[in-house]
Amino acid sequence: MSIEIAPSILAADISRLGEQVREAFAAGTRWLHVDVMDGQFVPNISFGPHIVAALRPIADEYDAVLDCHLMIADPDRYLEDFVKAGADAVTVHVETCPHLHRTVQHIRTLGARPGVTLNPATPLVMLEEILGDVDLVLLMTVNPGFGGQSFIPGGLARIARVRQMLRDRNRGQVTIQVDGGINAETIGPVAQAGATVAVVGSAVFNHRAPVADNLAALHDAAVQHRVM
C-alpha cells in the first residue's frame, strides 16, 4: 500500500514559507496540509484564508492539492473564504458541525472536496451517516492544536476500522488521511493499516535535515515496512 505525504505548514519556518513549500513540492509531494486553528476549538491560533491565497500560485505550479484542516468553531462561517482563497479540499471536525450533512454539501457546492475528521476519542460511529458524501476521511492520531506531539497508538485500529467501513459501503475510493505524530517509525504501520495520505509536520520541516531528505526518509520507511 503506497502512501502519499501531505506536509503540514504548521511546522514550516513561516519566515520563509514559500521557499519551504517549494522545497516540498520540488521533492515530489503533491499535497500541502494547511492547519487552520482559531484558539477556540483548539488552544492554538494559526492561519487564515490569506495564507491559502498566498500559497495557491505555488501549488498551481506543481498541480498540488491545498488541503485545509479546519480546527475552528462553526466552520460554516469560513467555508466560502477558504475555497475562494484556493483550497482544493476542506476538512471539518464532526465535533464542530451540528448540521454536518449541510456543511459537507456546502463545501462540495463551493467546488472543493469535502473531508471529515474527528478527535482521537470521538467514536467512529459519528462518521457512519456521512461516509457516502465525503471524498476524504482524516483520522487524528494526536489531540489537535499542536505539531510535534507523539502518535496515539490506538489510531492504527481506527484506520483499519474506517477502511472497512468504507469498503462495506463501496466507498473504497475515499482518501484516508492520518494526521499527527507521523514519522519514520509510524508511517509504515499507518500505511499498512490503510491510510493513503499521511499528514506530516515536524518530521518534514525541522532543523535536523533538509525537507527533501526528510521526505525521502519517510518514503523509504514506508516502503521498508511494507516489505517486512
Residues found near Zn ion in the complex (CB under 5 A)? 35, 69, 179
Q: What minimum distance in Å lies between the beta carbon of 11 and ligand DX5?
A: 5
Give the one entry of Zn ion, ligand DX5, none that residue 189 binds, where binding means its C-beta sits below a cut-off of 5 to 8 angstroms depending on kind.
none
- Taking a C-beta distance cutoff of 8 angstroms, is the pair 94, 58 a contact? no
Least separation in angstroms between CB 167 and ligand DX5: 26
CA dihedral 92, 94, 98, 99 (to 10 degrees): 60
Least Cβ distance, residue 145 to Zn ion (angstroms): 10
Is there binding between residue 46 and ligand DX5 (CB under 6 A)? no
Cβ at position 87, least distance to ligand DX5 in Å? 15
- The CA–CA distances, whole Å, from 16 to 19, 22, 72 equal 5, 10, 25
Q: Is 112 in the site for ligand DX5 (CB under 6 A)?
A: no
Instruction: Tell me whether residue 135 is one of the annotated catalytic residues.
Output: no
Options 38, 88, 135, 179, the catalytic residue: 179
- Three-class secondary structure of residue 119 per DSSP: coil
Listed residue (161, 205, 163) closest to 183, CA to CA: 205
Specify which residues 37 forms β-bridges with. 71
Verify whether residue 35 is a known catalytic residue.
yes
Show Cβ contacts of residue 203 under 8 Å, excluding neighbours closer than 6 positions.
182, 183, 184, 214, 218
Span from 6-14, 77-85, 119-127, 154-162 in contact with ligand DX5 (CB under 6 A): 6-14
Q: What is the set of active-site residues? A: 35, 179
Question: Which residue ranges make up the site for ligand DX5 (CB under 6 A)?
Answer: 8, 10-11, 33, 35, 69, 71, 142, 144-145, 147-149, 179-182, 199-203
